[in-house]
Structure 1
Amino acid sequence: MTYVIIGNGVASIGAIEGIRKLDQEGTIVVLGSEHVPAYGRPLISYLLAGKIGPERLNLRSDDFYRRMCVDLRLNTTATAIDTKKKTVTTNKGEVIPYDRLLLATGGVPFNPPIPGSEGPDIYNFTNLDHAQALIAAAKKLKRAVVIGGGLIGLKAAESLFDRGVDVTILELSSRVLSAAFDENAGRLAARRLAETGIGVRCGVTAKEIHRDDKGHVMGVLTTDGMFVPCEAVIVAIGVVPNSALAKAAGIKTDRGVLVDDQLQTGTKGVYAAGDVAQARDMITEDNRVVPIWPNAYNQGYYAGRNMAGAGEKYEGGLAMNSISFYGLPTVSVGQVNPPKPEEYEIAIHLDEKRQTYRKLVFKDDRLVGYVLVGEIDNAGMYTSFIKFRMPLPGDAKRVLMHGEPGVFLWPEQVFEKTWNPAGGDK
């Protein structure tokens, strides 16, 4: 059996480990577009801030690929997939046959067509090369504008600020981290950033990037008419699934590459995992792209096992974000901004003075989402109620609403190992 994996991130690591649990003899070929083995992308912000060195980035030990008998091909991208002949063509002219194929191509930065964005001094922040380019640029930077107040934008802003750069964040939404936070949590986070010295402007974005007569960036004109001087612009609006290769091969896509409950695409023998995959969501029970670290690994692991013949169901991913803003820890999990709030029961506790916030979202007597700011000690416990879909009768729900989760609220069947999260008792 020959397994070909396109992409070399955390989903690929999961797939390799999943395959080798069941198949120690098959050939595994991994195509990595970068010049280094798989590394922890969330760590590149610490690299940019100067808090860690490059040696801390690796996801696995130096001998991982050798021990797993993986043929790792760096600086190699797939240029075409022939699903009838079961081959992958690379940028080096190689034609690689496969029995099972995994698309783990991740996401690519979304760069909107902002006038003036073509040219030098414009950066993204999603991979190691981007981080190294910003490290070099930061040595001479005094001011920078970050377009986008999501996770990538905030980490880029924080990292540059820690290197002494004056940073302003522009976020089109009414709050930072709009996908993971609500208004209260977003306001507390923006307040902490502002107290530290990072400028945060919500409800506006870049209208035009201005350049001097030598072509270098000199500032950003915002949609409300303000001019923000800077020498660099970091476009961090987000990433979109890198699904162009799949589309060209006739593999079914929507927002990302569509997969079933075994992570297989509509094309037999072809699987997808990670930020490119539109896979089952544990809470909404539909297929969504949820580009976060744990989901990518888990999808890769299940895809790898199923490529090797396990036939296991992927129960679904769970949206999770954990980030600290200069000593202000935050966690958000699950459905925190329900599309129809009137169909949910929501409990909120806000202490502006202590900068603490708790929001719990319930649906049909189950916890389906939460946000914690400032005090996050109970995050793991809240997550367990969501992940295992535990029913919460009236008294138990009231205890949770008062911020007192505990194992004493778990159904007895959990302790008897007879609890089936998908459908109650076994």
Structure 2
Amino acid sequence: MTYVIIGNGIASLGAIDGIRKYDRINPITVIGLENTAAYGKPLTSYLLAGRINPEGMSLRTDNYYKNKDVSLKLATQITHIDLENRVLSTSCGDKIPYTKLLIATGGKPYVPDVKGVEGDGVYNFTDAKDAYRLIDSVKDLKRAVVIGGGLIGLKAAESLYNRGVEVAVIESGERILHLAYDAEAAGLISRRVESAGMPVRCGVRGEQIVRDKSGKLRGILLNDKSFLEADAIVIAIGVVSRIRLAEQAGLAVDKGIVVDDNMFTGADGVYAAGDVAQARDVIFDKDKVVPVWSNAYTQGYYAGRNMAGNNSKYPGTMSMSSISFFGLPTISVGEVNPDLENTDYEIYTFFDEPKQSYRKLVFKREQLVGYVLVGDIDFAGMYTSFIKFKFKVDSQTRKRLSEGEPDVLMWPDDFFNKAWNPES
């Protein structure tokens, strides 16, 4: 028995832990495209901002891999998966056999259709190497434009700002953070960002990156014919799943690799997890790719358990974003932008602009299915528990939750009975 994991991110660590819970004997090989062991990609912006050092990016010590009997093959690209013979091919011509395989290749940066995007002065912002490139260049940067008003884009912009760079953000949508937050929360965050001195322009997109005759970057021309001067352009729109290997192998793919509740792809011995996997979403009750760090680890963990022969159903993905912008803490979980014409939904909001505090709770029938907190996030964990365990809440409980007073005593008695008497 040989376990092979393609990808060396948080999902791979989950898989290692899952496998080793039930199989401490058979070897594991982890193949990574980057020349580094697993690190925290959400920490990339903190690395760029200078708030952590490179060592602080590591998720595990070298002893972790040794103690788990894991062989690392770094700076290695897999070019083909032979499902029939259970063999992987590398770009160097090597052949790597497997008995059980996990595809955890993650995501790759989405690159917009902008003229001149291929060239000096343009950076992606997904991997640690992107941050290192920017750190090496930041001493020569006066102005930068970040393309993308989502979570990644705003944190990249804030990190450059903290390095003393003048930064502007452009977003093609009507507002920033349109996927993770609602309009009110996004507006509050946008005003916080702009008050710090970082302009945000929505409803515009880049048409052409402009360079002088020597090739030096001068700025970016927008579709409204305005021009933003810049010494660097940072593309931080988001990621799309790396599904090429799976497609070539003949696995079922959609937005990501299609898996069942065991993270199984349908091909003998082959599983998928992390940003490349399209798994069940517990709130929307359908399969989705949700590129959230905690989900990736959990998916990997359950994939590993199943690879080791323990039949374990993945409990499901939950959309979640928790991040601060210029010191303003925020969190968004679940369905926060419901169809307002659907009478199944009931929405409660609280907004205190001077205190920069916002709370929104979304109920569907008798369950909390989503919430947004900005400013005061102390009870986030409690709200999340109501969503995760799908507690039914009556009108009185909904009112107390909406007033910002969640309490464990609101949990149903049946939940406590099962917790204390699991065999009952």
Where does residue 160 of structure 1 map in the other structure?
160
Query: TM-score, normalising length from structure 2?
Result: 0.97
Contact 1:331 1:379 in 2 (8 A): yes
Q: Secondary structure at the match of 2:370?
A: strand
Q: CA deviation at 1:339?
A: 4.2
- What amino acid does structure 2 have at the position aligned with 1:272? A
Contact 1:18 1:304 in 2 (8 A): yes
Where does residue 77 of structure 2 map in the other structure?
77
RMSD: 1.4
Q: CA deviation at 1:177?
A: 1.3
Where does residue 351 of structure 1 map in the other structure?
352
Say whether 1:244 aligns with 2:249: no
Contact 2:261 2:313 in 1 (8 A): yes
Instruction: Return 5+ residue gaps in structure 2 as ranges.
Output: none
- What amino acid does structure 1 have at the position aligned with 2:316? G
- What amino acid does structure 2 have at the position aligned with 1:371? V
Q: Secondary structure at the match of 1:416?
A: helix
Contact 1:280 1:317 in 2 (8 A): yes
Where does residue 403 of structure 2 map in the other structure?
402
Relative to 1, partners in 2 of residues 1:326 and 1:91: Cα closer, same or farther, differing over 3 Å?
same
Relative to 1, partners in 2 of residues 1:419 and 1:224: Cα closer, same or farther, differing over 3 Å?
farther
Once the two structures are superposed, residues 273-313 of structure 1 have per-residue CA deviations (whole angstroms, 9 ceiling, x without a partner) of 00000001010111000001000000000000000011111
Once the two structures are superposed, residues 203-245 of structure 1 have per-residue CA deviations (whole angstroms, 9 ceiling, x without a partner) of 1121221111111211111122221100110011110000001
Say whether 1:2 aligns with 2:32: no
Q: Distance in 1 between matches of 2:208 and 2:182?
A: 29
Contact 2:49 2:160 in 1 (8 A): yes
Q: Percent identity?
A: 55
Q: Distance in 2 between matches of 1:100 and 1:257?
A: 16
Q: Secondary structure at the match of 2:140?
A: coil
Q: Distance in 1 between matches of 2:137 and 2:77?
A: 27
Query: TM-score, normalising length from structure 1?
Result: 0.97
Where does residue 378 of structure 1 map in the other structure?
379
Where does residue 89 of structure 1 map in the other structure?
89
- 1:13-412 → structure 2 map (5 Å cutoff): 13-339=13-339, 341-342=341-342, 343-412=344-413
Relative to 1, partners in 2 of residues 1:273 and 1:340: Cα closer, same or farther, differing over 3 Å?
farther
- What amino acid does structure 2 have at the position aligned with 1:345? E
Moved more, 141-150 or 112-121: 112-121
Q: CA deviation at 1:418?
A: 5.4
Moved more, 110-119 or 282-291: 110-119
Once the two structures are superposed, residues 8-55 of structure 1 have per-residue CA deviations (whole angstroms, 9 ceiling, x without a partner) of 000000000100000001111110111110001111111111111101
Contact 1:6 1:77 in 2 (8 A): no
Contact 2:155 2:325 in 1 (8 A): no
Where does residue 415 of structure 1 map in the other structure?
416
Q: CA deviation at 1:417?
A: 2.2
Q: Distance in 1 between matches of 2:93 and 2:64?
A: 27
Tell me how many residue pairs correspond in the alignment.
Answer: 422
Q: Secondary structure at the match of 1:322?
A: strand
Q: Distance in 1 between matches of 2:118 and 2:76?
A: 27
Relative to 1, partners in 2 of residues 1:219 and 1:48: Cα closer, same or farther, differing over 3 Å?
same
